[in-house]
Amino acid sequence: MPIDSRPRFADMDAAYRAIIEAHRGLSHEQSAALNAALVLILANQIGDHAVLAEALALAKATIAPPARQGAD
């Protein structure tokens, strides 16, 4: 069961908005805690190591590579 790349919500805008609104008014620390709890809940909901691994890889690919390390 690979990651489904197609839109899955009938109203994608509403789903995105629900996530954003959950963070409104939170400090950076609170937002980080919320995200972590959300990731754990959703990961358990998926309940599949292969899908989780693929989702992690997909997410990781969106992160800019770290800046070249200086000579320290």
Partner 1 sequence: MSAAAPFAQFAYLRSPDQSASQPVLHPVAIVGAGPVGLSLAIDLAQRGLKPVLLDDSDRIGDGSRAICFAKRTLEIFDRLGVAKPMLEKGVSWQVGKVFQAGECLYQFDLLPEPGHKMPAFINLQQFHVEKFLIDRAQALGIDLRWKNRVVAVDNNRDGARLSIETPDGRYELEADHVVACDGARSPMRTMLGLSFAGEIFDDQFLIADVRMQAAFPVERWFWFDPPFHSGQSCLLHKQPDDIWRIDLQLSPDADAEHERQPAVVRPRIERMLGHADFELEWVSIYRFQCRRLQTFRHGSVIFAGDAAHQVSPFGARGANSGVQDADNLGWKLALVMSGASPDLLLTSYDSERSEAADENILNSTRATDFIAPRSAMERVFRNAALALARTQPFARRFVNSGRLSLPTPYTGSVLSTPDVDSWSAGLVPGAPIPDAPLESGQLSERLNGGFLLLAGCAVPAGLVPAGVAHVAPGADDILLRERFDLTDNAAYLIRPDGHVAARFRQADQQRLDAALNRARGVFDADR
Cα separation, 31 vs 44, whole angstroms: 20
The contact pattern for partner 1, residues 19-48, with x = CB under 8 A and - = no contact, is: ----------x--xx--xx-xxx--x----
Cα separation, 36 vs 43, whole angstroms: 10
3 near 59, Cβ under 8 Å?
no
Q: Using the minimum distance from each CB to partner 1, give the nearer residue, 25 or 47.
A: 47
Q: Using the minimum distance from each CB to partner 1, give the nearer residue, 5 or 69.
A: 69
Residues that bind partner 1 (CB under 8 A): 29, 32-33, 36-37, 39-41, 44
